[in-house]
Structure 1
Amino acid sequence: MLGKSSSLIFALSLALLPVKEAFSWGQNGHRIIGEVAEAHLTETTKTKIVALLEGDSLAEVSTWADEMRSSSDVFWRKKSSKWHYINIDNPEHMHEHVDTSIDSKEKVKHILDGMHYSINVLQSKSTSIDEKRFAFRFLVHLVGDSHQPFHAGRAEDRGGNKIKVKFFGSDTNLHSTWDSKLIESENLSFTEFTRFIQTDNAEVIAEYLDSTPADWLLESNHIANVIYESNETDISYGYIFKHMPTVKFRLQQGGVRLAGLLNLIFDPNSKPLVSSLKSVEKNTVNH
């Protein structure tokens, strides 16, 4: 798997490639979520993920699944894209179709499957260290993706990618605006941004952790639909003022929930709704 030097090579090669579509949150968004999560990991979890991190931090590995999309490997070129998003046709019935038993990469149809596959690999006693490292790095990324509203958007516009907007007069699209441009407009490093949104409020943390991955995607779908309905295409200061609280809220939630999920997986003594999620999907994960 990738260490720091390999990740840097992939990141540099990615920067030289033509961009075919927007990725997820942008590098800083994912790093913010990873950095927020670091502060909420239990000591047991920190110890158990050392071998999976290979000297990196959560912020560093959070962008790995996007960096790897520049690889020539067939999985990354042809199959990995569907792991990053989901199209929700009927939010009211989504929980009825959640499959927590995904045990093969070939069975992954969307981001929710990808998260459950990764969780299952990490919990399994029979999977190899390389399989666990793959699953761990992908899971860190997908938890972030699940909190970006347009990764649960509409199929017909590819999650806002086909909706053209102006960002301070420059041509872009709605998805890219939410991936990176709103975050970058703050002119903060990911560590500075993290310090501004980090929380130790026990009540807020408990509320965030009382949820499942399916809930996170339903929340994103709801936010995306509200933004769709507003139909704002000329984006400047007013749009940023209106929507930046939502961006910060989702980044904060993503970080706390990432830590809660990792604590649930790796620390049998983590406390539900204090340091870990209550469950992944209706008590399907047991210590």
Structure 2
Amino acid sequence: MKIARFVCGLLLVTTSVQALAWGQNGHRIVGQIANEHLTKKTQQALLPLLGGDLLAEVGTWADEMRSDPAEFWQKDSTRWHYINVAAPKDFDASHYHTPQTKEEVKDIYGGILRCIAALKDKNTPLAERQFYLRFLVHLVGDIHQPMHTGHAEDRGGNLIEVKFFGELTNLHSLWDTELLESQNLSFSEFAAFINTQDKQLIKTYLTSSPADWLKESMALSESIYQSAAPAATNTLPEFSYGYIHQQLPVAEERLLQAGIRLAGLLNSIFDPRAKPGTAALAVKP
């Protein structure tokens, strides 16, 4: 697994970061925080599924596998990472059914439902359970990245050019990677800085469902779009320290929520009878 991940990482050098979510550090932060809130039973249940890796490592797997030439990774997997809805009010979770195969997944919400169902099904073969665990870790991070619920016409901000400290980039990449990288922290340092053991805050975060997480991101994406509106015709929005001061706390909260909620979701799957304690509570279905 580690050698395969290294090879995929090399291939990603030629892949635009615009296609990724939270960047490598962001997904690792989510996995690192989640690991700190798992029950012992959940940790044991994950061992054969992780194959010697850590949650912080497998969080980037679904992006790395895009270099695989198989049809699923080249044609089908992309739609797992995002959803485009005109407005939060237009999203209705009741209209969704849980996809029965990975080919039926049409967007990130359906992908999460599919992963949960497969992991809860004790008849799912080990190799498939490993697949769905790795994808679920990634998708919980993705669904908390606001621009993965952005507008279809601009590809979630990919087509909106902005400048960050004078360098040309786009709104999606700014949120995927550059906002976090501006702190010059390793993923473990970043996770340690924002992690929490506040049981009331954890409980607040977990009194929610994946549909709620999606709607939160949709609302945040609209605010982000507004922040990138050009001040004048034919000018690009320019961001620097002021933008970091304004938006980094939002990104930090989304990463923390993603980590806590991932742990709660995994606990609900693998240790549903766990009592609230130092580990995260179970996410409500």
TM (normalized to structure 2)? 0.93
Task: Give the alignment partner of residue 61 of structure 1, picking from 58, 63, 68.
Answer: 58
1:197/1:252 contact within 8 Å kept? yes
The whole-number CA distance in structure 1 between the counterparts of 2:60 and 2:76 is 18
- 1:166-181 alignment, distance < 5 Å: 166-181=163-178
Using the alignment, how far apart are the partners of 2:124 and 2:93 within structure 1? 28
CA distance in structure 1 between the aligned counterparts of 2:12 and 2:45, rounded to whole angstroms = 30
Distance, in Å, in 2 between the alignment partners of 1:71 and 1:224 is 30
Out of 249, 253, 256, the residue aligned to residue 249 of structure 1 is 253
Deviates further, 100-109 or 120-129: 100-109
RMSD (Å) for aligned C-alpha atoms: 1.6
Percent of matched pairs sharing the same residue: 50
Q: How does 1:20-59 map to 2 (within 5 A)?
A: 21-59=18-56
Q: What is the Cα deviation at residue 200 of structure 1?
A: 0.2
1:1-16 → structure 2 map (5 Å cutoff): 3-15=1-13
Does the 8 Å contact 1:98/1:214 carry over to 2? no
Q: Residue 192 of structure 1: CA displacement?
A: 0.5
Paired residue for 2:179, among 176, 182, 185?
182
Question: In 2 relative to 1, CA 113–149 (structure 1 residues): closer, same or farther, beyond 3 Å?
Answer: same
Q: Is the 8 A contact 2:66 2:73 kept in 1?
A: yes
Q: Deviations over 1:85-130 (max 9, x none)?
A: 0012342252344525221112100000000001111011221101
**Local SS of the residue matching 2:16:** coil
User: For residues 186 and 197 of structure 1, what CA distance do their matches in structure 2 show?
Assistant: 13
Match for residue 285 of structure 1? none
1:260 aligned partner: 264
In 2, Cα distance between the equivalents of 1:52 and 1:206?
Answer: 27
8 Å contact kept, 2:12–2:64:
yes
Q: In the alignment, which of 140, 145, 161 is matched to residue 143 of structure 1? A: 140
Q: Which residue of 1 aligns with 2:130?
A: 133
- Post-superposition offset of 1:20: 7.4
State the Cα deviation string for residues 152-179 of structure 1 (Å, max 9, x = none): 1111111000000011111110000000
Q: How many residues align?
A: 277
The alignment partner of 1:59 has SS state of helix
* Runs of 4 or more consecutive aligned structure 1 residues displaced over 6 Å after TM superposition: none
Question: Which segment drifts farther, 168-177 or 82-91?
Answer: 82-91
Contact kept? 1:31, 1:59, Cα under 8 Å = yes
Residue 171 of structure 1 aligns to a residue whose secondary structure is strand
Q: CA 1:172–1:93 in 2, change beyond 3 Å: closer, same or farther? A: closer
Aligned-partner residue type, residue 73 of structure 1: A
In 2, distance between residues paired with 1:44 and 1:18?
A: 38
Q: Are the counterparts in 2 of residues 211 and 277 from structure 1 also a CA contact under 8 Å?
A: no
Q: Does 1:279 align with 2:277?
A: no
Q: Over residues 221-270 of structure 1, what are the superposed CA-to-partner deviations in whole Å (9 max), with x where a residue is unaligned?
A: 10010111223521111111110100110000000000000000000222
In the alignment, the residues of structure 2 paired with residue 90 and residue 182 of structure 1 have an alpha-carbon distance, to the nearest angstrom, of 25
Which segments of 5 or more consecutive residues in structure 2 lack a partner in the other structure? Answer: 230-236
Q: Distance in 1 between matches of 2:138 and 2:128?
A: 16
Q: Which residue identity does 1:213 align to in structure 2?
A: P
Q: Distance in 2 between matches of 1:20 and 1:58?
A: 21
Q: How does 1:52-91 map to 2 (within 5 A)?
A: 52-91=49-88
Report the more deviating stretch, 41-50 or 94-103.
Answer: 94-103
